[in-house]
């Protein structure tokens, strides 16, 4: 958790009401949750509105930062809820003081809700999880997000730009053409970059399979991506893709055997 201040919010349908601004300490968080436990739904948010946790009637509902919960918040919150200790005072601050403090970028609380792991977050901070993409004389810091296309489960790799300090979906490295591709294979738009083959090879990403197809004026080259490298850049995304692909392949093989009987 990297915030200096939080705001405590109650939620009713689409309406939100800010009850307090306070220091981002375990005591103040617990104080807000317990003080406003009569509300059906509350949330502790960053000053720019990104949720850190949500609670229902004083019981935490969603809190991605389980490490902070286990080590910092739970030791205070549970004794309060069991009546062993009283609710600590909330270290409230004026709204203008809280809003004058810039929220850290990238905002870790926000990224957790998007499924970023501790390891991936640290890799973005230290630069090891980012690639250099040169375009129009400028160097852009790029993150690769691995997933799959919905219709045929082919490999889908999106490019996210971190130049501003916050994630910005930029381009798709891969394209989804007709037909089932082999595992770890995908077509790439050759017009993305003049030296795209060298960039792919230089970053240990992929090797050209030799297959090239043309749709109208557009030319697409098929690449075999390095599974180990994709795991390094997006472990969860690649594992989800891999499991889905393997599962679908097993089902296709079973159906083929059934037809051949």
User: Do 149 and 177 have their domain in common?
Assistant: yes
Residue 152: the pLDDT is 83
User: Do 137 and 253 have their domain in common?
Assistant: yes
Closest CA to 30 of 60, 51, 9, 3: 60
Closest CA to 155 of 126, 118, 180: 180
Q: Is the pLDDT of residue 249 over 80?
A: no
Q: Which residue would you say has higher pLDDT here, 167 or 73?
A: 73
Residue 2: the pLDDT is 82
Residue 91: the pLDDT is 97
User: Do 99 and 168 have their domain in common?
Assistant: no
Cα pseudo-dihedral 174, 180, 181, 183, rounded to 10: 110
Q: Where residue 250 falls among pLDDT bands split at 50, 70, 90?
A: confident
User: Do 96 and 39 have their domain in common?
Assistant: yes
Question: What 8-state DSSP symbol labels residue 24?
Answer: S
C-beta separation of 206 from 223 below 8 A: yes
Q: Where residue 242 falls among pLDDT bands split at 50, 70, 90?
A: very high
Read off the pLDDT of residues 55-91 as tens digits, 9 standing for 90 and up: 999 999 999 888 899 999 999 999 999 999 999 999 9
Residue 252: the pLDDT is 67
User: Do 120 and 213 have their domain in common?
Assistant: yes
Give me the mean pLDDT over the 210-228 stretch.
Answer: 93
3-class SS of residue 100? coil
Q: Is the pLDDT of residue 188 over 80?
A: yes
User: Do 102 and 119 have their domain in common?
Assistant: no
Q: Which of 108, 126, 147 is the last residue of a domain?
A: 108
Q: Which of 43, 76, 108 is the last residue of a domain?
A: 108
| Structural domain boundaries, residue 177 | 115-260
User: Do 128 and 14 have their domain in common?
Assistant: no
Read off the pLDDT of residues 1-35 as tens digits, 9 standing for 90 and up: 789 999 999 998 888 999 999 999 999 999 999 99
Read off the pLDDT of residues 102-133 as tens digits, 9 standing for 90 and up: 887 777 777 877 778 878 888 988 899 999 99
Residue 110: the pLDDT is 73
Question: What 8-state DSSP symbol labels residue 181?
Answer: P
Give me the mean pLDDT over the 36-62 stretch.
Answer: 93
Q: Where residue 185 falls among pLDDT bands split at 50, 70, 90?
A: very high
User: Do 87 and 205 have their domain in common?
Assistant: no
Residue 114: the pLDDT is 78
- Mean per-residue pLDDT of the chain: 91
Give me the mean pLDDT over the 37-43 stretch.
Answer: 95
User: Do 60 and 123 have their domain in common?
Assistant: no
The Cβ of residue 182 has, within 10 Å, a number of other Cβ atoms equal to: 13
Share of the chain above pLDDT 70, in %: 97
Q: Work out how many domains the chain is built from and give that number.
A: 2
Give the pair of three-digit tokens for residue 172: 């798709």
User: Do 142 and 194 have their domain in common?
Assistant: yes
pTM for the complete prediction? 0.73
Give the pair of three-digit tokens for residue 74: 């739970």
Residue 131: the pLDDT is 97
Q: Which of 108, 130, 163 is the last residue of a domain?
A: 108
User: Do 79 and 34 have their domain in common?
Assistant: yes
User: Do 253 and 124 have their domain in common?
Assistant: yes
């Amino acid at each position: 958790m990297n915030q200096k201040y939080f705001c405590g919010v109650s939620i009713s349908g689409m309406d939100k009401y800010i009850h307090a601004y306070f220091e981002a300490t375990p005591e103040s968080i617990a104080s807000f949750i317990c003080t406003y436990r009569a509300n059906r739904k509350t949330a502790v948010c960053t000053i720019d509105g990104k949720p850190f946790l949500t609670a229902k009637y004083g019981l935490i509902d969603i809190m991605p930062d389980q490490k902070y919960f286990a080590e910092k918040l739970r030791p205070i919150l549970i004794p309060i809820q069991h009546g062993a200790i009283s609710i600590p005072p909330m270290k409230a601050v004026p709204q203008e003081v809280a809003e004058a403090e810039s929220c850290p970028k990238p905002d870790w609380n926000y990224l957790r809700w998007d499924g970023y792991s501790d390891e991936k977050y640290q890799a973005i901070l230290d630069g090891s999880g980012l690639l250099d993409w040169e375009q129009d004389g400028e160097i852009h810091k790029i993150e690769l997000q691995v997933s799959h296309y919905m219709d045929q489960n082919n490999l889908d790799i999106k490019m996210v730009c971190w130049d501003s300090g916050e994630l910005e979906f930029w381009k798709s490295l891969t394209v989804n053409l007709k037909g089932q591709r082999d595992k770890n294979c995908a077509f790439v738009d050759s017009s993305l970059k003049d030296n795209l083959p060298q960039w792919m090879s230089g970053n240990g990403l992929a090797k050209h399979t030799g297959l090239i197809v043309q749709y109208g004026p557009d030319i697409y080259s098929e690449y075999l991506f390095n599974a180990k490298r994709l795991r390094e850049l997006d472990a969860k995304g690649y594992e989800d893709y891999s499991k889905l692909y393997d599962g679908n392949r097993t089902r296709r093989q079973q159906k083929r055997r059934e037809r051949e009987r």
